[in-house]
Structure 1
Amino acid sequence: MTAADRPSGVPGTAPGAGCAADVGHAGADSGTGPAGTGSAGSASGRGRGRMGAFGMVIGSAMSLQFGSAVAALLFPRAGALGVVALRLIFSALLLLAVCRPKLRGHSRKDWTAVIGLGVALGTMNSLFYQAIDRIPLGAAVTLELLGPLVLSVVASRRALSLVWAGLALVGVYLLGAGGFGQLNLAGAAFALGAGAMWTAYIVFNARTGARFPKVDGLALAMGVAAVVSAPLGVVSAGGALLDPVTLGLGAAVAVLSSGLPYTLELFALRRLPAGTFAVLMSLMPVAATAAGFLVLGQSLGLMELLAIALVVAASMGAVRTSSS
């Protein structure tokens, strides 16, 4: 995704603030230079740490979107729903093994939040993979981004937010003017549906994060998402899911789309303010366009590229407005 996998109330924030969040913050945030003395050394250390964090966020976005591109290559083998099932099952196994969340001692409201998050996760990924089976990856991520963008605009309640909403609408109009017939209306509808579920994911993730330590709630929700998606994947792909090559590529997709991004985002969030992180993650459509071009051979015209740029700018503006 997206984000396939993202928490918090702004576009593009990620669920990677993770299982090892209790480890002491070090490096650039410690306020000490290499020798522990001198403001110049401290400032230099913070600068290097922040630049490294920028690289981690960009690496996370590229890994996530290249994972989606590799997933699209698997569609002829197992279908979109089959690949979703593989990705979520492997991601759940990875998160549950690393985080080892407790299953006991949780209230009914705790489990309601987890189940809601898991259903949102499973539905979001299923809709998104249906979208990229029909339209270019960059266009799908651009349309999906509208979900959290709308949530950010509504939550901000500022007049300037309407400007960003208008800019995003212009971008969507240009994307359509470039030929929604070529983009495939069903694919565009699936992407918009994924964006709506991304919004639900953000809401439920906030509730889950408030009730569970670290990202234990996310790990449990990923397990729920895997259970939700598995029957659809089995019905759709059947025995193809047991093919060793398909299983291996499915595991690779889970690492590219979950394991590696979560790890990079975990370390980046220790060094960057949340607002800066969210702005950088708004570049997801750019990463998706690059992955679609390099891995899938998908190219977009100037009109579509301009449309993506406008939606990215609107997302960045909405993040800055809501966090200021």
Structure 2
Amino acid sequence: MPSSTAARLIPFLLVLGSILSLSVGSSLAKELLFPLIGATGTTALRTGFSAIVLLLLWRPWRASITRREYHFIALYGLTLGMMNLCFYLALDSIPFGLAVAIEFVGPLTVTVLYSRKISDFIWIALAVAGVLLLLPLRGNDSGLPLTGVLFALAAAFCWALYIVFGKTISHLHSGQTVAVGLVFASMVTLPVGMMDAGAILAHPYLLAMGLLIALLSSSLPMTLEMAALKRLPHKAFGIMVSMEPAVAALVAFFMLSETLTPTQIIAVVFSITAGMGSAMTARGRVDTLVT
């Protein structure tokens, strides 16, 4: 393969690998851990092990971080914890692909606010239209529980705040920032997940599963994304990441036997189109920071 072709293909494979890893990890969590320790216990294992792995990998205690920067890292991390908790609670009752599609409203809203181009409001309107198709309203066939949709919207709101707080510390090393942020995230998820501590102790293999899911859902995707961002313009990266709802739906179909209705498929297409359109037209640099 010519080197120029390989140079173009490698970033795409890195982003695809990140999305696939995240989708497989979340699907495994839903299939294997949710029935035993619930969404809250699974979230606690994911964030806790992710924090341990990334602390060992990036060793942030060697970095020179000021008290003010720690303040924003704490806000960033606490928001990250709430985002993961709300997303897994949504995943407990609605299909994976739809939860991702709804969650994408968060970063899209931030992109529009930072861009301030009138055309970008088209994309957020398209994403909102997709969410409306998924609400259990009279006349549509979404068949989704309102609670699950609301948890996904809460995760979207947290993702938006997570990006805003992340931009305030974007000058720091991203790996070290996420590692410390996950410590604060665990302060949110561990107390809630402790309600399932008895089940975890009764099934020690759950700890190994939790570590695997942490690696697949957080550590590996983040590492692949960082490698991709070094090789791609942010606009191209944003377009590729917009395919996540479709990949999540496909992985969930094969791993969880989750199927979507025609209305739900249209909603996912709206989300993908909004994400790609936003990435192509937005001004400036807005990180999506998927973890």
TM-score, scaled to structure 2: 0.91
> How far did 1:178 drift?
4.1
On the 8 A contact 1:205/1:218 being kept in 2, the answer is no
Say if 2:108 is the partner of 1:149.
yes
1:69 aligns with: 27
What do residues 4-58 of structure 1 show as CA deviations (whole Å, max 9, x unaligned)? xxxxxxxxxxxxxxxxxxxxxxxxxxxxxxxxxxxxx9xx523311212111211
Please give the alpha-carbon distance, in whole angstroms, between the structure 1 residues aligned to 2:107 and 2:226: 21
Structure 2 residue identity aligned to 1:132: L
1:158 aligns with: 117
1:107 to 55, 59, 66: 66
Percent of paired sites with the same residue = 37
On the 8 A contact 1:178/1:304 being kept in 2, the answer is no
Q: How does 1:55-66 map to 2 (within 5 A)?
A: 55-66=13-24
Q: How does 1:34-49 map to 2 (within 5 A)?
A: 44-49=2-7
Structure 2 residue identity aligned to 1:254: A
1:13 aligns with: none
Please give the alpha-carbon distance, in whole angstroms, between the structure 2 residues aligned to 1:61 and 1:274: 16
Say if 2:275 is the partner of 1:308.
no
1:269 aligns with: 229
1:203 aligns with: 164
Please give the alpha-carbon distance, in whole angstroms, between the structure 2 residues aligned to 1:97 and 1:231: 23
Please give the alpha-carbon distance, in whole angstroms, between the structure 1 residues aligned to 2:131 and 2:64: 46
Please give the alpha-carbon distance, in whole angstroms, between the structure 2 residues aligned to 1:64 and 1:128: 13
Please give the alpha-carbon distance, in whole angstroms, between the structure 2 residues aligned to 1:104 and 1:269: 22
1:51 aligns with: 9
Distance verdict in 2 for CA 1:295–1:112, change over 3 Å: same
> How far did 1:60 drift?
0.9
Distance verdict in 2 for CA 1:250–1:276, change over 3 Å: same
Please give the alpha-carbon distance, in whole angstroms, between the structure 2 residues aligned to 1:276 and 1:316: 9
Distance verdict in 2 for CA 1:301–1:106, change over 3 Å: same
> How far did 1:215 drift?
2.4
Please give the alpha-carbon distance, in whole angstroms, between the structure 2 residues aligned to 1:244 and 1:60: 28
Corresponding pairs, count: 279
Please give the alpha-carbon distance, in whole angstroms, between the structure 1 residues aligned to 2:259 and 2:63: 50
1:183 to 136, 140, 144: 144
On the 8 A contact 2:54/2:175 being kept in 1, the answer is no
Please give the alpha-carbon distance, in whole angstroms, between the structure 2 residues aligned to 1:217 and 1:136: 31
> How far did 1:105 drift?
4.8
1:78 to 37, 54, 59: 37
Q: How does 1:86-101 map to 2 (within 5 A)?
A: 86-101=45-60
Distance verdict in 2 for CA 1:186–1:267, change over 3 Å: same
1:225 aligns with: 185
SS of aligned partner of 1:280: helix
On the 8 A contact 1:66/1:256 being kept in 2, the answer is yes
Distance verdict in 2 for CA 1:259–1:107, change over 3 Å: closer
User: What are structure 2's unaligned runs of at least 5 residues?
Assistant: 285-291
On the 8 A contact 2:43/2:88 being kept in 1, the answer is yes
Please give the alpha-carbon distance, in whole angstroms, between the structure 2 residues aligned to 1:131 and 1:198: 14
> How far did 1:123 drift?
0.3
Say if 2:273 is the partner of 1:318.
no
Please give the alpha-carbon distance, in whole angstroms, between the structure 2 residues aligned to 1:52 and 1:307: 30
Computed over aligned residues only, the root mean square deviation of the Cα atoms, in angstroms, reads 1.8
2:85 aligns with: 126
What do residues 255-309 of structure 1 show as CA deviations (whole Å, max 9, x unaligned)? 1111221222232222211211111011111111112111111100122111101
